[in-house]
Chain A
């Protein structure tokens, strides 16, 4: 009988490890996250028990929670086979290739801060992947409770190379070549190989001592020792003070990094084609409609620097503001920091090419649309967006309607007519292809969207050629 019971327990554990296990959680044998009755839990495996107990008993976990460095958790059960934790719920998880420059910088600094704090308390980060960081309550947060190990005097930072590959290399490349470099982790899911980064960087990059030692020199040594037996690495020693110096110098360098690249976004709202009255009216409408449907969470698609989302800031629980322009998103994030806003998540995303599912089985990092759907937002905002999707992206109304309907139950959408100067500009830029867009008018828009939505409210913005709609999914 006892044997059967043990087999059934084992079967249950195995089931959990395969069926309920979160598709992103398989690399680290210390444990994994899984879903049980729609609740996200984290299992600690016996191999990590000692570390887990130490982190709990010394109060270091609590210190990390109090300092806002690590996602909080509660222990819900403990047996000899597993300890189960319930981490604080993070409603939306963004990935490094969806961050603006300042967000990327802040995530890197957060990791360095965490490692220095760990050293001070006798621990070390055994893992420094950028995928362990996300943005929550207006700042970066480390989301993996099992990435810590007890520090042994004299051991070098084992996650150092990983930090360079995930954070320093993309940031330095972005400094020289612009925002697009920050999307490299979508291709290089394990970080940018240092030899590759060293090859790509301009010769003058060597003149900076931090870049020279941490990228060029490390890349050289990494290649030189690549055939070395791993056992030999155990004899390499580095004092804690020396490691702290590396952390300090990296922190100071990254904190001072700037990216100068002009994008489409530059005082976007200063060149709008409508007056303050229409602008304020539109803001009032967004707020009124958001309240009328008792919405709590909104996703603002093409949300620029968050100007319209901020109208909802005091009444919304969570606002995800996505935009294609990395400088606009950067500006949004700097405002979040400046004003200590806790419910706005800025995100770089091109609606015509949103982040796909990547990694093992294409499910290790989930597609943006899927994460939005799972986060259960009440309403999408699509303000001054449809003409870009339709005219720039050639997406038919029926297809954009289907996409919006797949995300949220409500949609607040603005439709600029052909007479609108932006639409006129976009149509003219199509040259001889412009006649293809003869379908672009309000009537066709309403008809095609009617297949997916019913109109709850509709209003013309005063002194403009633009109409606002509050739509409800059918």
Chain B
């Protein structure tokens, strides 16, 4: 399937910068994971807040059908 043309300019620079942003994000998430790991080891629960987590829970029925 062909990629659709965009009605706006995605910006070549912004596409290049994503690779750098991903490296930064990788380092950050690595340290966050260690931090949360340590916190949960000492019994602190992570508060998801009112807006929830980024990951969508898949249809719960699937689990029941197994």
Contacts and interface: CB of A to CB of B under 8 A. Distances in A.
Contacts, number: 151
A242 B7 contact: no
Contacts of A221: 13-14, 16-17, 20
A355 to B, nearest CB: 23
Interface in A179-216: 190, 194, 209-210, 212-214
Interface in A83-120: 105-106, 109, 112-113, 116-117
Contacts of A251: 54
B20 A217 contact: yes
A174 B51 CA distance: 19
Given A225-B12, A238-B19, A334-B50, A51 B24 contact: no
Interface string B46-66: 000111001110010000000
Contacts of B51: 105-106, 109, 255, 337
A246 interface: yes
Question: Which bucket holds chain A's interface residue count?
Answer: 35 or more
Given A212-B24, A255-B49, A158 B10 contact: yes
Contacts of B34: none
A338 interface: yes
B7 A249 contact: no
B38 interface: no
Interface stretch (A11-19, A27-35, A393-401): A27-35
A128 to B, nearest CB: 10
B4 A210 contact: no
Question: Which bucket holds chain B's interface residue count?
Answer: 35 or more
Interface string B1-24: 111111111111111111111101
Given A105-B51, A246-B25, A233 B15 contact: yes
A66 to B, nearest CB: 7
Given A66-B59, A113-B56, A209 B15 contact: no
A218 B25 contact: no
A228 interface: yes
Contacts of A252: 29, 32
B26 interface: yes
A387 interface: no
Given A160-B18, A209-B28, A225-B13, A116 B7 contact: no
Contact of A218 (B6, B21, B55): B21
21 contacts: A29-B5, A54-B1, A63-B59, A116-B55, A116-B56, A126-B4, A126-B6, A160-B15, A162-B10, A164-B14, A210-B28, A213-B21, A218-B21, A225-B11, A230-B12, A242-B22, A246-B25, A249-B21, A255-B49, A334-B50, A338-B50
Which 4 A-B pairs rank lowest in CB-CB distance, beginning with the nearest? A221-B13, A249-B25, A161-B14, A225-B13
